[in-house]
Amino acid sequence: MLSNLDKQLLNNFQQDFPLSAKPYEEIAHSLGITEQDVLFAFEQLNQQKFISRIGLVIPPNHIGVSSLVAMAVPSDQLELVAAIINQYPEVNHNYERENRFNLWFVLMAEDEPHLQVTIENIEIKIGFKAMQLPLLADYYINLGFELAFDD
C-alpha cells in the first residue's frame, strides 16, 4: 500500500523534478521532511516497481545520436531478450508492442559508430536482427499523468 508520501512523490515530481545540485533535499524541504525520508521512499518505490528510474529525458539527437529499434522476438523469449537489452547502458527504455515486431527500444550513444556497434553487439548476443527506424519527424508526447489513488 502506498503512503501519502509515496503518492506525493509519484504525482508531484514526474515532471517538476528540481534541477539543482541537491534535488532530493529540495523535495524534502518542499514536503517538510528529511532528505533521507525522500531517498528511502524513492528506493522503496523502485523496489516495489512503481518507478524504474529517476532521470532526465533528452530530446532525440540533441546530445549524441539515438535510434528507435524494433525486433521480432518469439513471445516465449520476450522477457529474457528484454532483460538482456536492458543491461546495455545505451538503452533508454524498451517496451512490448502487439505486432510481429513486438520489442521496441531506444538507444542513445555518443556517435553513430558507437550506436551501430551497440546494435550489432545486441544482435549477436540475442540472435535476432534489429530494424532501425530513423527519426523523420520529432513529436513530443507528455508522459506525465496525474495518478488517482483509492484510499
Phi, psi of 104 (to 5 degrees): -120, 145
Name the grid cell of 126: 540475442
Number of domains in the chain: 2
pLDDT at 61 over 80: no
Tell me if 54 is assigned to some domain: no
Residue in 124, 60, 54, 58 with CA at minimum distance from that of residue 88 = 124
Position 71 confidence tier, pLDDT thresholds 50, 70, 90:
very high
- Selected residue with higher pLDDT from 104 and 62: 104
User: Which domain covers residue 123, as residue numbers?
Assistant: 65-133
pLDDT at 63 over 90: no
20-58 pLDDT, tens digit each:
999 999 999 999 999 999 999 999 999 998 888 888 777
Q: What CATH number is attached to the domain comprising 79?
A: 3.30.70.3460
Based on the fold, state whether residues 81 and 120 are members of the same structural domain.
yes
Tell me if 69 is assigned to some domain: yes
80-105 pLDDT, tens digit each:
999 999 999 999 888 999 999 999 99
pTM above 0.75, yes or no: no
User: Do 150 and 1 meet the contact criterion of CB atoms below 8 Å apart?
Assistant: no
User: Which pLDDT score, from 0 to 100, does residue 79 have?
Assistant: 94
User: Which pLDDT score, from 0 to 100, does residue 52 have?
Assistant: 82
Based on the fold, state whether residues 129 and 71 are members of the same structural domain.
yes
Based on the fold, state whether residues 29 and 69 are members of the same structural domain.
no
Name the grid cell of 103: 520489442
Q: Give dist(CA 79, CA 73) in Å, integer.
A: 10
Q: Give dist(CA 29, CA 13) in Å, integer.
A: 13
Position 151 confidence tier, pLDDT thresholds 50, 70, 90:
low
Mean pLDDT, residues 69-73:
97
- Selected residue with higher pLDDT from 16 and 25: 25
100-129 pLDDT, tens digit each:
999 999 998 999 999 999 999 999 999 999
